[in-house]
Amino acid sequence: MPEPETLSENRPSALARLMAGVTAHAPGITAGPVNDEPTPDEPGHPEYHRRQRAAFALSRWETAVPYRYRDSTATHPAITAWADRAATDYRDAGFLVLTGSIGTGKTHQAYGALRRIAEAGPKRFEMIATTAPDMYGRLRPGGSEKGTEHDLKRLCRVPLLLLDDLGTEKLSEWTEEATTRLVNERYNECLPLIITTNFPVRAPSGDPSPDLVTRLGDRLASRLAQTSTVVHLDGPDLRRGLRSVS
């Protein structure tokens, strides 16, 4: 009985099988050496499989990205370095906190970082991107079909989470508890979290302006301090620049 065909990545190439057939049926002919190694364009080559994973991950990224940010590219060196760590092993990356005033490109860089991870073709790519106000809307009692607890657990466990515009909402006791659970659980599981915020992580001492630490509380601030790559984006409001060009 013939051996059953398998779809294994290590199957001999079509050329190798052809040459084996020729040799079997024409004993006078000796097949020359065959380079049986798959090329990057063939199944079996690691690069072929990386590209397949990247194409799949990018299609997920495209589904999640708002239309305005479809061309986002991470350009800041600290952000690209963070994305590269996350692509290699997302449990190694820690949190990424992008601070800066309005229109400095935080959301653009955040989606760009997620795109860079997708392009690397990681073993697993699953992401949720939401603004903090949207998240709190969904997590309010009655705010989601499957129930708030189900939604919060999903946000806690998804491999990649972007929480855009954190701190713009006035935190009620309830939203504060949801944020604490989310950050704490991702911290415990060493899952990455990208946060963008208009607040500095910590205002200079003596400066009474609000900062992330005072808004989120000391327990969360301590976790953020341990695990975060903080990148401050400064410069003008890019939206004004774009308007004056057009």
Ligand X SMILES: Nc1ncnc2c1ncn2[C@@H]1O[C@H](COP(=O)(O)OP(=O)(O)OP(=O)(O)O)[C@@H](O)[C@H]1O
How far apart CA 170 and CA 210 sit, in angstroms, is 12
Should residue 80 be labelled a site residue for ligand X when binding is judged by CB under 6 A? no
Helix (H, G, I), strand (E, B) or coil at 75: coil
How far apart CA 185 and CA 35 sit, in angstroms, is 50
Beta partners for 99? Answer: 197, 232
Please, which of residues 168-197 interact with ligand X by CB under 6 A? Answer: 196
Should residue 131 be labelled a site residue for Mg ion when binding is judged by CB under 5 A? no
Please, which of residues 87-116 interact with ligand X by CB under 6 A? Answer: 100, 102-108
Question: Near ligand X by CB under 6 A, which window of 5-13, 51-59, 204-212, 235-243?
Answer: 235-243
Question: Near Mg ion by CB under 5 A, which window of 7-15, 107-115, 136-144, 152-160?
Answer: 107-115
Q: Angle of helix 46-64 relative to helix 106-119, nearest 10 degrees? A: 150
Beta-carbon count within 10 A of 33 CB: 6
- In this chain, which of 107, 131, 227, 228 binds Mg ion, going by CB under 5 A? 107
CB of 74 to ligand X, least distance (A): 9
Task: Report H helices in the chain.
Answer: 14-25, 46-64, 77-88, 106-119, 132-139, 148-157, 173-188, 212-216, 218-227, 238-245
Should residue 215 be labelled a site residue for ligand X when binding is judged by CB under 6 A? no
Should residue 167 be labelled a site residue for ligand X when binding is judged by CB under 6 A? no
* Beta carbons within 8 Å of 214's beta carbon, 6+ residues apart: 203
- In this chain, which of 148, 198, 214, 229 binds ligand X, going by CB under 6 A? 198
* Beta carbons within 8 Å of 245's beta carbon, 6+ residues apart: none
CB of 117 to ligand X, least distance (A): 18
Query: Which of residues 106 and 223 has its CB atom nearest to ligand X in the complex?
Result: 106
Match 């060009």 to its residue by tokens. Answer: 245
179 binds, among ligand X, Mg ion, none (CB under 5 to 8 A by kind): none
Binding site for Mg ion (CB under 5 A): 107
Binding site for ligand X (CB under 6 A): 68, 75, 100, 102-108, 165, 196, 198, 238-239, 242
